[in-house]
Structure 1
């Protein structure tokens, strides 16, 4: 099989066209989790606040998590998915507008990678219009959906159309997209965001231009009243919510540009909390604002667990806290993931490589072994084509049988364009790295290779190494857990160039496109 692989530049080649009809509202509620992490640091030994927090914390059902999740790996780094829900239920319609019965989608999402040294962290934004494959997800009645390729990322949260959303489906989607295991997931809403900004006494922000009501609501026939003047100011409550919702009046009017301002907002909030400090009178309101509007995975479902996690973050300073966006390009009115840049980013995080190329692996700190792969390789819901890259007769059929035996759906069996493969290669299209890694666990030593092109799936091209294993009766035997990524892995230049540090100037790099 011969294909051309090109590194695509992340920048769009054409201006953003009219956005998708429907809601485009909501803040970066990741700030709630960040603030909570800081707040609970001062609660160790304070039993009274533990009881208050425990009463507020809500957890989601973990039974909807996929069975073919990525291996945890050996690094002590952690991955935390933070989802902002734009649901209007439970009183959130008063802040976000719309119907109180409106079922929300994931308005904003960050994957926060805490490096193994616990002195560096990076938050990777995933635009909600990103076209991904939503893997099989559990419905309220216990049934599982079929995989949905080329679907907008934010639709994963609304699978099942329940009031509380489907955070497990969003987590499954992120794991499938990145090939990284998500250790914890947090969902936050409008009310908690507004309350938090009030509690801290407002957050400094910067606007590149005057903003009017029409910039917040493009359906207005007039530009309306002035909401924000150009330059620096401090916002809180509803005003803060309006700031992070602004999209159409700045830059190219895209969600990509809004993500840049939301990242600046989170940075500013972190600076504010660190500069003000936490007094006993501020502690409980701050913690309550966060936990009262937050839903977490069962692994963070108590104050003690939250405190333990927060304590692990205490040595991360502002400069070592980075914000980036998944490598992207416009595909019509949607966002496509750029390969191989995206895969290079996930590999760098798995290897604990920072934006500036440092090894933040924590001096060799490793997780405890998570067990062998033989009991965990499940191909349920994964389609794969199998090609013979050698001259050995029937090798693709043998590999297909091994895959079928582990629950994979084999869509095609044939010969590759080239019959000179020595190493088995697992090729995968955009958003399918997690599935490719699952496939590769059945082929020891297999090489993962991202391919460009719409509609690219997961293909296995078996090489002579597999032919030798098959001849000895070992073909198709489960491999060891996928090893850590190459320690030489690096964050792609396209990502590193646009990274924001939490201590960057408040007014710098606030939009994407013209006018920003």
Structure 2
């Protein structure tokens, strides 16, 4: 019996030892698996960046104008262009001719405020009448400036299938007086793929929509492609939603722009609700970069991801969508002044649509410089200016000098410039004189600030000033007009709200 009990104890101790060895073995296996996952994760991150880098296409910065608004320490501006180019498989989604030239189907300027908690996207209708500055052609030459051209014509300068993003950027800078920090072009494929990557986007329709509403050349109305009310769309259906124009609402491009704004707002809401996690963001980034063309400043995955993450704290309610103040001019769209001037002035000063100062911090971590006060009366006290007539219009320098004197500026000379084919008025300023030059620029609507190495401030008058009525220029209104701010759409709005846009 004793031997039997001892044998049983020995067997029990042996079994326990085997169990401990198995547990230690399982523990070592689990640890090894965890280490392996970490190693694979690190390798995967490198693979992801390599893949994203391979996806990204850039356009040449050679076509960006040398006559640009000054860089700002307040906020940042990104031009987003939706291209209807049919290259690279886009014809399967958008139809049309594969050899057709690239056109900009939609465009908006996204201003991210320095506090990185507010943003506003300003849509520019494609039929807007604008001045297109000189743009670079594929053969290396530059075009002559165009006056009163349609806005989307800038993207088609050079008539290449891939379009001309730099020319559109030049045009936006001339129109707004804001420096565009980055430009992003998204084509049909990229747009459709992004909506699929997030699992679809919620939209809302005020009525049933049929095939003929998308293609008015159809002999019959065809099948119903959208039902009235809220629904989730992705891929081709999402693309149809943002492109549809005829047979819904008033059939105008303005109505379509409002639908597009509602769609982008809903897309942002979906991304936010999914959470900014790698499992959610990487498929989205992969889809976006495959059909995206960017300026060289965003030409690598780390730059693009870093830029995207810089906007992660922007609140949906503080993300606004508006259209530049406009009116019909025949079949085209004209910009309304001074309403538009007030909007651009607010963005330059980093003021929100409701007048808040959102310049809480600034790019590169530098201290914020005081705004020259674009909404205050122009005071030239203590500022000396040389005036030169860069046109063939006689007496222009004397006229400008009198206007400047009326604002309190001191005129050091009023003469004719050596070059007399100046299109746009330039305010040239020496080191440390940017704020004073900004005051001078406000007297000449549309003037450009240009730094030079020599001290002093010179107003080189262009044809734009010659065409102005002979009266002192008025500063833009102190606040963004109510019809702009009150009609703004927030990214957290219900997609079924304000269905009149449909």
- TM-score, normalising length: structure 2: 0.74
Aligned with residue 292 of structure 1, among 287, 290, 293: 290
Which whole-Å CA distance do the structure 1 matches of 2:286 and 2:301 have between them?
A: 12
Maintained 8 Å contact 1:426/1:459: no
Aligned with residue 419 of structure 2, among 399, 404, 408: 404
* Cα distance, 1:278–1:183 mapped onto 2, change above 3 Å: closer
* Cα distance, 1:403–1:125 mapped onto 2, change above 3 Å: farther
Q: CA deviation at 1:308?
A: 2.1
Query: Residue 505 in 1 paired to residue 497 in 2?
Result: no
The residue aligned with 2:448 is 437
Maintained 8 Å contact 1:43/1:50: no
Q: CA deviation at 1:283?
A: 3.7
CA RMSD of aligned residues (A): 3.5
Maintained 8 Å contact 1:384/1:457: no
After superposition, residues 318-337 of structure 1 pair within 5 angstroms as 318-337=316-335
Q: CA deviation at 1:250?
A: 1.7
Which whole-Å CA distance do the structure 2 matches of 1:351 and 1:190 have between them?
A: 35
Q: CA deviation at 1:367?
A: 5.3
Report SS of the residue matched to 2:183.
Answer: strand
Q: CA deviation at 1:357?
A: 1.3
Maintained 8 Å contact 1:261/1:511: no
Q: CA deviation at 1:402?
A: 4.0
The residue aligned with 2:27 is none
Report SS of the residue matched to 1:169.
Answer: helix
Higher RCO (CA 8 Å, separation ≥ 6 residues):
1
Which whole-Å CA distance do the structure 2 matches of 1:274 and 1:147 have between them?
A: 42
Aligned with residue 161 of structure 1, among 138, 159, 162: 159
Query: Residue 388 in 1 paired to residue 398 in 2?
Result: yes
Which whole-Å CA distance do the structure 2 matches of 1:364 and 1:51 have between them?
A: 31
Which whole-Å CA distance do the structure 2 matches of 1:148 and 1:427 have between them?
A: 20
Whichever of the two has the greater Rg, that structure is: 2
* Cα distance, 1:270–1:439 mapped onto 2, change above 3 Å: closer
Q: CA deviation at 1:223?
A: 1.8
* Cα distance, 1:45–1:359 mapped onto 2, change above 3 Å: farther
Query: Residue 494 in 1 paired to residue 483 in 2?
Result: yes
The residue aligned with 1:103 is 101
The residue aligned with 1:46 is 45
Aligned with residue 137 of structure 1, among 128, 135, 138: 135
* Cα distance, 1:286–1:172 mapped onto 2, change above 3 Å: same
Which whole-Å CA distance do the structure 1 matches of 2:391 and 2:130 have between them?
A: 15
- TM-score, normalising length: structure 1: 0.72
Maintained 8 Å contact 1:43/1:49: no
Aligned with residue 466 of structure 2, among 438, 459, 464: 459
Q: CA deviation at 1:280?
A: 4.6
Q: CA deviation at 1:319?
A: 0.5
* Cα distance, 1:409–1:268 mapped onto 2, change above 3 Å: closer
Report SS of the residue matched to 1:404.
Answer: coil
After superposition, residues 358-369 of structure 1 pair within 5 angstroms as 358-362=356-360
The residue aligned with 1:62 is 61
Report SS of the residue matched to 2:270.
Answer: helix
Maintained 8 Å contact 1:78/1:115: yes
Report SS of the residue matched to 2:416.
Answer: helix
Maintained 8 Å contact 1:384/1:408: no
Q: CA deviation at 1:103?
A: 1.2
Maintained 8 Å contact 1:426/1:460: no
Maintained 8 Å contact 1:122/1:324: yes
* Cα distance, 1:364–1:243 mapped onto 2, change above 3 Å: closer
Which whole-Å CA distance do the structure 2 matches of 1:229 and 1:223 have between them?
A: 14
* Cα distance, 1:125–1:43 mapped onto 2, change above 3 Å: farther
Q: Which runs of 5+ in 2 are unaligned?
A: 1-40, 370-389, 404-409, 426-439
Maintained 8 Å contact 1:193/1:241: yes
The residue aligned with 2:92 is 94
Q: CA deviation at 1:443?
A: 8.7
Q: CA deviation at 1:399?
A: 4.1
Aligned with residue 267 of structure 1, among 265, 271, 281: 265
* Cα distance, 1:174–1:222 mapped onto 2, change above 3 Å: same
* Cα distance, 1:101–1:320 mapped onto 2, change above 3 Å: same
Which whole-Å CA distance do the structure 1 matches of 2:144 and 2:99 have between them?
A: 27
Maintained 8 Å contact 1:82/1:110: yes
Which whole-Å CA distance do the structure 2 matches of 1:367 and 1:458 have between them?
A: 35
Maintained 8 Å contact 2:82/2:186: yes
Q: Which runs of 5+ in 1 are unaligned?
A: 1-41, 371-381, 412-422, 449-455, 464-484
Q: CA deviation at 1:363?
A: 5.1
After superposition, residues 169-318 of structure 1 pair within 5 angstroms as 169-277=167-275, 280-318=278-316
Q: CA deviation at 1:275?
A: 1.4
Which whole-Å CA distance do the structure 1 matches of 2:125 and 2:42 have between them?
A: 34
Which whole-Å CA distance do the structure 1 matches of 2:171 and 2:97 have between them?
A: 27
Provide the aligned length of Structure 1 versus Structure 2: 410
